[in-house]
Amino acid sequence: MGLFRWSQSRSLWMMHFCTGCGAVEMPPTMTSRYDMERFGIIPMATPRQADILLITGYLTVKTLKRVVRSYEQMADPKYVIGFGSCTINGGMYWDSYNTVKQLDLYIPVDLYIAGCMPRPDSIIDAFVKLREMIAKGEANGWKRYRENLEWYRTNQAKVFNVEKWSAIEP
């Protein structure tokens, strides 16, 4: 089991949901200056093939719907990294009428990186930490989502302004 987890942690494919301003920090992280590929992390454009969902900044209600749908399409085990202040408590959009403030009300977040925006150094550090967490079996956001699906669905339905909401049957 340990070897299994270790190998999992060495090969992470990342879907970066780059709708927020944090997206600019991704190119230096991917390219030779910081070179995240040496940690086995490769950008991936499709949710079904990805392990990490990277939320780079604020989410509007409209994008949140797409994020939840993408997240549910990802195969287990899957991890979410909240990127920047916006995912923690709204950031500079703290009083905006159309962005969600606390990401972990809607999808389980494994790791937060503070910053506006975080530097590539922080992102690499977060990846290293996530790898450790996966190897130790601490990154259990996907299990939480499964166990508390009703709770997450209720929160999602509240911002989508419907009685009941499901990503699978829209």
Residue for token digits 């993408």?
A: 70
1-21 in b/e burial notation, b at 16+ Cβ within 10 A? eeeebeebbeebbbbbbbbbb
- Write the DSSP string, 152-166: HHHHHHHHHTSS---
Residue 4 binds to other proteins (criterion: CB under 8 A): no
| Interface of this chain with other proteins, residues 6 to 25, rule: CB under 8 A | none
At 41, which helix (H) or strand (E)? Answer: strand 41-43
**Cβ-based nearer residue to other proteins, 44 or 111:** 111
Q: What are residue 154's DSSP bridge partners? A: none
| Interface of this chain with other proteins, residues 137 to 166, rule: CB under 8 A | 138, 158-162
SS3 75: coil
Nearby residues of 133 by Cβ (< 8 Å), 6 or more positions away: 110, 111, 139
| Interface of this chain with other proteins, residues 50 to 89, rule: CB under 8 A | 61-62, 65, 85, 88-89
**Cβ-based nearer residue to other proteins, 18 or 105:** 105
| Interface of this chain with other proteins, residues 22 to 41, rule: CB under 8 A | 32-35, 38
**Cβ-based nearer residue to other proteins, 6 or 94:** 94
Could you list the residues that contact other proteins (CB under 8 A)?
32-35, 38, 61-62, 65, 85, 88-92, 94-98, 100-102, 104-105, 109-116, 118-119, 121-122, 124-126, 128-129, 133, 138, 158-162
